[in-house]
Amino acid sequence: MIIVTGGAGFIGSALVWRLNQLGRDDIIIVDQFAKDEKYKNLIPLKFMDVFDKDEFGIMINEGFLEKNKFDVLYHLGACSSTTQLDTGYLLRNNYEYTKFLCEKSVKKNIRFIYASSAATYGNGSNGYDDNEDTLESLRPLNGYGYSKYLFDVWAKKNGYLKEIAGLKYFNVYGPNEYHKEDMRSVVNKAFYQIKETGKARLFKSYSDKYGDGEQKRDFIYVKDAVDMTIFFADNPLLCGIYNVATGKANTFNSFIKPIFKALGIKENIEYFEMPEILQGKYQDFTQANIKKLLNAGYKKEITKISDAVTDYISGYLNTDNPYLH
């Protein structure tokens, strides 16, 4: 069987969707449910059972992993808000809980694949290479990135990176992210802005290096991200840190222009002031080095950004069924 934490969330539910396509429904979903509607991501999916995150921790301590046979634990659950200021909560939820699951999984010979983040790279001054030797040199810009960084370093110091796989997801976008509110992708926000007002809004640039909307990110479609994730379950000897990205940076302007084309609307972009809480903590440029992933044997073609955005808009957002189905 398979365990997916964060299985009702964005990447987690997309992963379950892909596993269903591959004929797997022997899946246990774990998540933290609150006053949101991410449960809707689960409606079209096939799985065995679903548990609350805290309840699942108790179940593990009471021998749940010993009583059942599990092949893989995909640990994708976390608080992913880059504006979360409660560091204590981030440490408990993102760091301590990940340590707990890692130790239990390795002890029971369960393949442990966890979500790290591109947020660990900070402003990119030390590059975007998924090299474990330089982990300690990274300087995250926010509490979320720091919580992910802490586990990466802990796993290295305690020898776990020789047994597990940590995936540094870059800017993932696609179906099933609607519940993420302010953490939704720019393309998701822009779609609804364009539908409502005829224009999209992007942050002004605060850097001399980039014009407005010309800041660059390594945007990756969620369908590609989950294919890369499953690759590590299919290849259990691959351990360590790996970037999950396209390896190509695109501007925010080029990211949202296909939305106008898909909707048949003239391009109209408005640039506005960045919230003060983000100033000085905003990544103007990210571009992953994915040579390590490719050298490990990943061969599936990565979807071009224009094709991916068009698929997202035409196949999901601009339909009566916005969920992966």
For residue 308, give every residue at least 6 positions away whose Cβ sits within 8 Å of its Cβ, in sequence order, or none: 173, 174, 221, 223, 224
Q: Can you read off the two tokens belonging to residue 146?
A: 């720091």
User: In this structure, are residues 2 and 61 in contact, taking their beta carbons and an 8 Å threshold?
Assistant: no
Which residue, 100, 112, 104, 43, is CA-closest to 71?
112
CA distances from 277 to 90, 127, 186, 282, 297 (A): 17, 24, 18, 9, 40
Question: Contact 82/13 with Cβ under 8 angstroms?
Answer: no
Q: Is 149 a catalytic residue?
A: no
DSSP 126: T
Please, which residues bridge with residue 166 across strands?
114, 241
Catalytic residue chosen out of the listed positions 40, 53, 99, 180: 180
CA angle 98, 104, 105 (to 5 degrees): 85
List the catalytic residue out of 74, 95, 128, 144.
144
Rounded CA-CA distance 321/325 in Å is 8
Determine whether 180 is an active site residue.
yes
Amino acid at 258: P
Q: Which alpha helices (DSSP H) does 73-182 contain, by range? A: 87-90, 97-107, 143-157
**Enclosing H/E stretch for 57:** helix 53-61
Q: Could you tell me if 265 and 257 are in contact, meaning their C-beta atoms sit under 8 angstroms apart?
A: no
Q: Cα(311)–Cα(245) distance, rounded to whole angstroms?
A: 18
Q: Give the separation between CA 91 and CA 104, rounded to whole angstroms.
A: 18
Catalytic residues: 144, 180
